[in-house]
Structure 1
């Protein structure tokens, strides 16, 4: 969705939940318009709805979102450039963490904007059909943002009313109350949203059904999760992209597998980098910046220099050995579509003698390599034993097999931080995985295998289709988690998956030696930001989550 918020909306969203300081802001409104005037017209109200969507951009395709949703799990550990080891490795994670504070503010601002719209939409002057549609969108978005809040922090502040003025008290609301409202809002959204949209990025009926299936699975309502996921698979025009690698091509982003996405603009001027509400001072680098985060440092090695094709290496995150070992790359095409293992010479000035442009300059491999294997080779090899310790912890955090799903070779320059790549929020493959897990929990392992095999047939290298098939006997929740890793690695779902299945601690202990040193059970919820704790006046009622300071 490519509409942008009016600056006027900042007055509504900026209040957020609580006052974080006592500074007085002298506001200047050159237009003379009031909130009541703007939101009493269809045109003005549309800016509110557009603004409500924009808060997705704080999370999806952004460093902060990756640090919270993919890191601190079994799939990723820190690269040398990791900025937030308190989040990614649980090293003294406390309420002072700036990512937590920013996310809290943005999510509650988003909820408040949805509450504002839902309370005022009756006076916006819409025709009835448009009113019903926009109401359904705002309800979906409120449910979506509240899911992030309740899973991150547990039973914290909850309201369905617009914030009026500065509120300095907060409530502690049970998790069940959050989910009851999430289900109410999504029921309305499923009922009233259109099946399709010409405005790519707006939520639709099948997107609402897909997210509701995710919520049903989260709350153990497996029969409903299975039915809704199957409905999205069977009743609409979505289909899996035949080749997994094609999902990530920059010229194929709006494909039939995508149920809902944040669509960033090709003209980067109109993306988020200078948005005063979402990203003051260019924070989060605007647009999609996943291409920066997972790339190893290659540009200081012989035969290499930084270029657009290989990307700008921020070197934040490296895959765990567990993630790499989950793939049989001789049968599963997803490995080479997901990861980059070979870098080709692009700089003969620093290349070894005899190396030409386009020759192999670097190989990173999950296998152990002997001296005999590399004897006489001009290229450098970084193998399993160089990159990882025996326990799987990161050893060389600068060179490693790198995630390439989010690479963008269309960027205008080698140092461009923004990418117009869409950030996928829900794609059809997840529905097969939800349906499979729900069927396992219902005891229907044969049906579960059928769903999983659809994805594995798509992923099979030619001639290896039979090798990729799985049987009902293999169907366990643990297997589905492995398949979710192979299919969805990097797509900002892993922390939620492990928390939902009650396996966050166990998976970290088994597969992420770096995070396992520090992880404790209380990390299943995040610390409430200290500036929020400090701001409330009812401190005896609104207290910090246990064991955080």
Structure 2
């Protein structure tokens, strides 16, 4: 596998003029120097490699999670990214995350502009080779502007590199329609010229990525309310169908269910992570040499969505340092809303839909390397039945050997993790003997919970009567119950555990399952074609069904509308950094909708919070900050 993100001395020349979007103090290298650097295939390919750099800082990282997934109907946080999660006073022009997003995407735009500008000067390329290579820059520029326009609204549209255009001291905003015109033009070029496959070079974009993101861009554009919005919905449907109807051509496929496992479960199996036919566009992680822009500092997503295994969980036998399956507990922060837990997902013990179980962990095990005894103190504190005093929670910690790595043909990591021994129900009570904490999304009666030999926290404990997360003020045990909730499972396969904190799996940015959802929504937005929408939705729903229960997942076309698709997107994509854009497209970023679905958000202002503040660092660097504006912040 080629390391496509390796940095070279030639590409380093470009760093001098990189951030013209946020500084007036730069001195750009001469275009003569750049022509020398980028007119050879080696130098040009190094520049193309740099176009991918920024995505490593948004996917699987808190900057991207906050901006793309938080502040929606799905998640709550008291401690992480409060500007994004709660729309509080930290959402202002000085917020550092916004600077990271702004600078990073504009840096990518500048790399791409440079590559596009010099492409015709590269020697030893045929026309086809040149177009195939520069198409990667067109794709990444379109992808970057898609984020910029959704995060910040009508921003500055730049199509020339700063080394050519010079510093822009008086930037002028383009309209959102003009920006979308450029996004669509760039992605259409990528669709036309990218190869069908990039071979063994995981992470490089091919035609399937371009078609997928183009379909996404067409659909997202419908939020602008243009007179021809239905035309863009039609284009989104046609573009999505190109992928769906020609999966073998584009080397992509949905996993299908078999007699033991749903297709959705296979999607998240670690053994399938590095060669996943459903991943259309991905952040490829080099887990051997750590030749990533940030080395081995990967896989933090699961850590941010983790319940308290360090204090509350530890009272019942969990141990943070032996819980590699779950990751570290000290970065806990994002937890599900009641709406996600009990309305998006069906709150029953044995659902036909496997997606809740594949999205979340609900069982946390004794991982102290010895049996754990329930004390009188615990029984009294949590209102347990007195018969549980002295009851043993079995140790589950053991050395875990994933076996043969089918990607490299060798034995992979050895990790110490909970959940490998004593995973039995010897006392036949319906629960594994090693469970310390259980956080289901369905309610269990108080009498039954009192008899369970572990801590059980269900929605009746997690949320107050208004649907907000409990607190010390609203519940006797609120201080403890507010730290107990299902944790993110999607990015936690033991197959790619590097250590207790880091996970080395690839991260899907766009996958084929979402393209089916794009097609379903586009069919409704184009001409309310419920039959077509139901067809695509049922393909997705049935592959997520428990074996033998696909019929329970089938939806009738009469029951399909846009709100159903939005809920289906939550079931399919929760935690995959899509939700804020979904709510924006649906017009659901409103005070009323968030009050209904996420009542913990109390300061949302629909007049300004549908876009982010312009970073102060940019405003300070330009000569017309008052004219440019800060998006109302």
TM-score, normalising length: structure 2:
0.80
In the alignment of these two chains, the number of paired residues is 529
Alpha-carbon distance in 2 for matches of 1:179, 1:240 = 29
Could you tell me whether the CA contact under 8 Å between 1:291 and 1:408 is conserved in 2? no
Unaligned runs of 5+ in 2: 223-231, 257-262, 375-389, 397-433, 471-480
Match of 1:279 in 2: none
Q: Which whole-Å deviations, capped at 9, do the CAs of 1:252-287 have from their partners, x for residues lacking one? A: 11222111211111126322325xxxxxxxxxx833
**1:224-243 correspondence to structure 2 within 5 Å:** 224-237=235-248, 238-242=252-256, 243=263
Shift of 1:531: 1.0
Whether the aligned pair in 1 keeps the contact of 2:139 and 2:186 (CA below 8 Å) is: yes
Shift of 1:19: 6.5
Give how far 1:419 is off: 2.0
Q: How does 1:194-213 map to 2 (within 5 A)?
A: 194-198=195-199, 199-213=201-215
**Preserved CA contact (<8 Å) 2:21 2:103:** no
Alpha-carbon distance in 2 for matches of 1:398, 1:194: 48
The ranges of structure 1 where at least 4 consecutive aligned residues each deviate by more than 6 angstroms after the TM superposition are 22-27
The secondary structure found in structure 1 opposite 2:508 is strand
CA RMSD of aligned residues (A): 2.2
Q: Secondary structure at the match of 1:36?
A: helix
What does residue 357 of structure 1 align with? 395
Q: Residue 345 of structure 2 corresponds to which residue in structure 1?
A: 327
2:52 is paired with a residue whose SS is helix
CA contact (8 A) 1:448 1:472 kept: yes
State whether structure 2 residue 357 is matched by structure 1 residue 336.
yes
Q: CA deviation at 1:355?
A: 1.9
Partners of 1:247 and 1:14 in 2: CA distance? 42
Change (3 A) 1:412 1:174: closer
Distance 1:499 1:124 in 2: 41
User: What SS does the corresponding residue of 1:482 show, helix, strand or coil?
Assistant: helix
Q: Which runs of 5+ in 1 are unaligned?
A: 28-32, 275-284
Q: Flag the 1:460–1:42 CA change in 2: closer, same or farther, 3 A.
A: same
Specify the SS of the correspondent of 1:256.
coil
Inter-partner Cα distance in structure 2 for 1:428 and 1:180: 24
| Residue number among 287, 295, 301 corresponding to 1:290 in the alignment | 301
Deviation, 1:434, is: 0.8
Q: Give the TM-score taking structure 1 as reference length.
A: 0.91
Range moving further from structure 2, 10-19 or 506-515 = 10-19
**Cα contact 2:211–2:243 (8 A) shared by 1:** yes
Name the SS for the 2:282 alignment partner.
strand
Evaluate the alpha carbon distance shift between residue 123 and residue 512 of structure 1 in structure 2; reply closer, same or farther with a 3 A threshold. Answer: same
Per-residue displacement from partner, 1:129-170 (whole Å, max 9, x unpaired)? 210111211111110101100111111111101102544332
Partner of 1:509: 595
1:267 corresponds to 2:283: no
Supply the distance in 1 between the matched residues of 2:482 and 2:169 (Cα, whole angstroms). Answer: 44
1:180 matched to which residue of 2?
181
Distance apart, 1:521 and its partner CA: 3.0
Alignment of 1:398-547 (within 5 A): 398-410=483-495, 414-416=499-501, 418-441=502-525, 442-505=527-590, 506-546=592-632
Q: 2:171 aligned with 1:86, yes or no?
A: no
CA distance 1:7–1:379, change in 2 (3 Å): farther
Map Cα deviations across residues 63-87 of structure 1 (whole Å, 9 max, x no partner).
1100111100001111x5x331011
